[in-house]
Amino acid sequence: MAGREFLEVLGDLSVEEAEAIGTRQTEEGARAGRPGGGGRFDLLEELGIHQSGGVTDEHFMEEALRQARKAAAKGEVPVGAVLVVNGAVLTKAHNQVEELKDATAHAEMLVVTAAAGEIGDWRLNEATVYVTKEPCPMCAGAMVLSRVKRVVYGASDPKGGAAGGALNLLQFEGLNHKCEIRSGVRAEECRDLLRDFFKKQRVAEDVGGK
Ligand SMILES: [Zn+2]
């Protein structure tokens, strides 16, 4: 199947289905004696689907959503993030402002600082950060300073978002680095998590106030 056709087909598939096809085709490739057998990502890359784009954006956003659900379970604002380098999750975190009593403990800050520690370099040029909510100005600033290559987010934040919602710090003229942006990945699930959390919080406040 030609690469373009495969891409179009992928467009209508769930991640699981697409991955199953990827694996199947890779196995065929391996049997056909492709050098090294070829991993799923090798195959996707051959077809022009990059590890940090297309189908895999959805996949990594699911990882970020898993982190966000962890935050919700602890009573933290449900935002989760993962930082991906070379097609693999390097660091993952959820919002921990309450737990750490630290206003800077946003999920993106935690994945960025942990990744710098892992890599041993503050420059994260090869990194993609997946986050369930549009980054705030602090996190956007940190990602620009860390030279994060790409930022993929779910729910947008028109009031305070700094990735195009209220302002665009990730691509601010005059700063010496700009991050690529993809927005709206699994946005509905990301937004519903936040909505449910704040709804429950309001109910709790109403009950407490009476
Ligand atoms: Zn933030």
Model pTM? 0.75
Instruction: Say which of 28, 108, 134, 188 is annotated catalytic.
Output: 108
Q: Which residues of 152-166 are buried (b: 16+ CB within 10 A; e: fewer)?
A: bbbbbbeeebbbbbb
Q: What is the predicted pLDDT for the residue at 49?
A: 45
Q: Are strands 150-155 and 128-133 parallel, antiparallel or unpaired?
A: parallel
Q: What is the predicted pLDDT for the residue at 162?
A: 98
Q: What is the predicted pLDDT for the residue at 205?
A: 87
Q: What is the predicted pLDDT for the residue at 16?
A: 43
DSSP 89-139: EEEEEE--HHHHT-TT--HHHHHHHHHHHHHTSS--TT-EEEEEEPPPHHH
pLDDT tens for the chain, 210 residues long, are 333 333 333 334 444 444 443 333 333 333 333 343 344 444 544 444 444 456 699 999 999 999 999 999 999 999 999 999 999 999 999 999 999 999 999 999 999 999 999 999 999 999 999 999 999 999 999 999 999 999 999 999 999 999 999 999 999 999 999 999 999 999 999 999 999 999 998 998 888 765
Question: Is 108 a known active-site residue?
Answer: yes
Q: Which residues contact 83 (CB under 8 A, 6 or more apart)?
A: 89, 90, 91, 92, 111, 112, 114, 115, 124, 127, 128, 129, 130, 148
Q: Are strands 80-85 and 88-94 parallel, antiparallel or unpaired?
A: antiparallel
Q: CB count, 10 Å around CB of 107?
A: 32
Cα(11) to ligand 1 centroid in Å equals 31
Cα(103) to ligand 1 centroid in Å equals 9
Cα(205) to ligand 1 centroid in Å equals 24
Q: What is the predicted pLDDT for the residue at 72?
A: 96
Q: What is the predicted pLDDT for the residue at 44?
A: 46
Cα(68) to ligand 1 centroid in Å equals 13
Q: Which residues contact 125 (CB under 8 A, 6 or more apart)?
A: 147, 148, 149
Q: What is the predicted pLDDT for the residue at 207?
A: 82
